[in-house]
Amino acid sequence: MKVILCTPSATPPVWLVRSHPEVLLVDAQGRTMDHGSREQADWSSPLYREYVTKIDMELAKRFGNDSRVWGWQIDNELSHYGRRFSYSQAATVKFRDWLREKYGTIDKLNTAWGGAFWS
């Protein structure tokens, strides 16, 4: 037998999303995705990233030297299938952190984005 072992990074296991719904993507209408849709996880979630790392490490320890494993599929489709962004709490925090790092102050952000025009 020869297999390509897939990790659950694109579609986290049901036990993870039931125990930690905060790892799920939130769409622009404020709806939280659920298990069963593809790519429903929120990459911004620190907890999601932590679990993916743990799961992948355990899979590698268990099957990394198994001669039947010919390859690993860790996910090559970084998308959310038409749901372009996550509007989760984790994504909001990361976006605000990025803005703070890039612009430093609200005044600089408003200047860069032309906020004074509409103020």
DSSP state of 86: -
Question: To the nearest 5 percent, what fractions of the chain are helix, strand and coil?
Answer: 45, 15, 40
Q: Which residue did the predictor score with more confidence, 75 or 15?
A: 15
Q: How many CB atoms sit inside 10 A of residue 32's CB?
A: 16
Q: How many CB atoms sit inside 10 A of residue 86's CB?
A: 25
Confidence (pTM) = 0.77
Give pLDDT tens digits for 37-76.
777 888 889 999 999 999 999 999 999 999 999 998 877 6
For the chain, percent of residues with pLDDT exceeding 90: 56
Report the pLDDT value the prediction gives residue 118, as an integer from 0 to 100.
Answer: 60
Average of per-residue pLDDT across 97-110: 95
Q: How far apart are CA 103 and CA 112, in angstroms?
A: 8
Report the pLDDT value the prediction gives residue 82, as an integer from 0 to 100.
Answer: 63
**Does residue 90 surpass a pLDDT of 70?**
yes
